[in-house]
Amino acid sequence: MLAIPAIDLREGCVVQLVGGDFDKEKIRLGDPRDVARRWAGYGFQRLHVVDLDAAMGRGTNRTVVRDLLADATAPVQVGGGIRETSDIESLFADGANRVVVGTRAIDDPDWLREIADAYPGAIVLAADVRDRRIVTHGWTRELPRNILDLIDELDGIPLGGLLVTAVHREGQLAGTDLPLMEDVAEASDWPVIASGGIASMNDLRALEDRGLAGAVVGMALYTGILDPRILAEEFAE
């Protein structure tokens, strides 16, 4: 399994939010490129960059993302507010390894199939869930479908992976939602990446034991709870 550091961008800075709440910002670092270099220097094999402002419709960090991609020494997957094909084309042209799409892809499965067919294996679908219900538009809208329904509906689309964020655990260091992630991994034909609440090596080992392909780690890295060198070494593939 691959451990993937999160680089969440807000107002040009790297931040960590508790529960995805913009009013509960716990970490703020002013140099995203330095943060990315640091994680790559520890040996992480992929970075996960999210433009939080774009996801919430509050602006964009597109210039920062472009600079990160130009400077990157590790593959980077980029998400956050990506709702146009032209955005995807630009990100790949700038050097993104994978592009992560969420709200529009879930609302418009025909568009998701179109872009996945154009970039097979390079589009990652972000499914944010709260108690197994899909939430979109920056976690502000809850859909009547649950995550397993979504997997059934999108079967056969050539995605590069499924990123599942347990919103109810995000940034709280309360441990991953293991039953959720186990059920998703069993149901999905795509590699599944877990996110939300990861607080210990045991959390990561439990995810690996249940067939998860990767895990995005944020708060536990930024607060020093997890040792990045040990994490990057043990979860490198």
- Write down the domain spans for the chain: 2-234
Q: Is the pLDDT of residue 145 over 90?
A: no
Place of tokens 């550091």: 5
Catalytic residue among 51, 128, 177, 183: 128
Any idea which fold 2-234 has? TIM Barrel (3.20.20)
- Which of 184 and 167 is assigned the larger pLDDT? 184
Residue 171's pLDDT is what? 61
Residue 170: pLDDT over 70: no
pLDDT at 151: 95
Q: Which of 10, 67, 14 is nearest to 39 (CA)?
A: 14
Q: What is the pLDDT of residue 76?
A: 98
Report which DSSP code applies to 195: E
Residue type, 32: P
Maximum separation of any 2 CA atoms in the chain, in Å: 42
CB 131 within 8 A of CB 183: no
Confidence of residue 165 (pLDDT cuts 50, 70, 90): very high
The verdict on whether 128 is a catalytic residue reads: yes
Quickly state the pLDDT bin for 167 (edges 50, 70, 90): confident
Instruction: Give 186-234 pLDDT, tens digit per residue.
Output: 999 999 999 998 999 999 999 999 999 999 999 999 999 999 999 999 9
Q: How far apart are CA 176 and CA 69, in angstroms?
A: 29
The encoded tokens of residue 42 equal 């520890």
CA–CA separation, 234 vs 63, rounded Å?
33
Share of the chain above pLDDT 90, in %: 81
- Total-model pTM: 0.94
pLDDT surpasses 80 at 88: yes
**Residue 21: its pLDDT value, please?**
74
Q: Is residue 8 annotated as a catalytic residue, yes or no?
A: yes
